[in-house]
Amino acid sequence: VPSDDDLRAQLRALSIVSGFESTFLYPVPVEMVHACSYFCDALSPLWSIQPIDDIVLKTEGVPLSPALQVAIDWLVGHGLLVPSGVAYAKTARQTRLRADLTLNRALANRVLEAVEADEKLSRETSFVREVAAALAAMGPGAETRAVFHDANYQDPLAGMQSVLDLVPEEGRSSATQSVLRSFSALARTAMGSELSESELTALYTRHLQSLVAAQESP
């Protein structure tokens, strides 16, 4: 019987692939699914949702979540996700299988419709969908650059192979949370507006997009 944590990871993976369905980056590379989950975790305190991974190891590439990968494997094994382009991916440290993923709508719809009917879960799905769409807009292969430019990853105090705390204890903030607070304060003082979670998420991902684009520009 899957645990609550297993179920949350499975729903997260399914929501992410579903989020990419209405973008041009579909089938979605599994590395992008991991990158999307990383950003969802970094933004999770804003939405008051439980992260899949509250700490990650800072490496040169996209942080691969073991919990999420187990969930993806389970969803593929049970036919809810369909892999294509399966290949070996070699890095300096390991060789692993990678694939591009699509939804098997016939099976996944039952889960996604149940999620839509639940106010709390559908709110989380909506958030995941926005993050997925923002990452998709950065184009194929942008997942590594997106993570590299992320506020947490850019923290000059955190070197490679250090542990990033995405959801610090009360009284402390991650770099992402500090950025979100800055956006809130700027909007309040300059424009007299209180920004919603979805607006702060959009601003965070748009800023990330601009950093990725600036790096790509000649």
Q: Which residues bind other proteins (CB under 8 A)?
A: 22-24, 26, 126, 130, 133-134, 136-139, 149, 151-152, 154-157, 175-176, 178-179, 182-183, 186-187, 190-196, 198-203, 206-207, 209-211, 213
Pairing type for strands 28-29 and 163-165 reads unpaired
* Class of residue 189 by CB neighbours under 10 A (exposed 0-12, middle 13-18, buried 19+): exposed
Q: How far is the CB of 108 from other proteins (least distance, A)?
A: 17
Q: How far is the CB of 85 from other proteins (least distance, A)?
A: 15
Q: How far is the CB of 52 from other proteins (least distance, A)?
A: 21
For other proteins, the closer of residues 50 and 154 by Cβ is 154
Residues in the chain: 218
Residue 58: partners with Cβ closer than 8 Å, 6 or more residues away:
153, 158, 159, 160, 161, 162, 163, 164
For other proteins, the closer of residues 69 and 152 by Cβ is 152
For other proteins, the closer of residues 109 and 198 by Cβ is 198
Tokens of 1: 């019987």
For other proteins, the closer of residues 91 and 182 by Cβ is 182
Tokens of 108: 């996944």
